[in-house]
Amino acid sequence: HPLCGDTLYGGSTQWIKRPALHCANISFLQPFTKKKIIVESPIPEDMKRK
């Protein structure tokens, strides 16, 4: 499936000027300490519904 904003495979309709790919959160175990790492990132303004 193409990404929104993908000019090669996504078609001609563009509501954003870049590929709309975002990871809101990700978690993993740190390999040495085995501590769970959680990283969060808010949705960028240009990806929010208006």
pLDDT of 10 strictly over 80 = no
Domain range list for the chain: 22-50
In terms of DSSP bridges, do strands 25-29 and 36-40 run parallel, antiparallel, or are they unpaired? antiparallel
What digits encode the pLDDT tens for the residues 24-44? 999 999 999 999 999 999 998
Query: How high is the pLDDT of residue 29?
Result: 98
Q: pTM higher than 0.75 for the full model? A: no
The better pLDDT of the pair 27, 18 is held by 27
**Band (1; pLDDT cuts 50, 70, 90):** low
Q: What's the CA gap between 22 and 40, in Å, rounded?
A: 11
In 6-48 the beta strands, taken as DSSP E runs, fall at 25-29, 36-40
The better pLDDT of the pair 48, 31 is held by 31
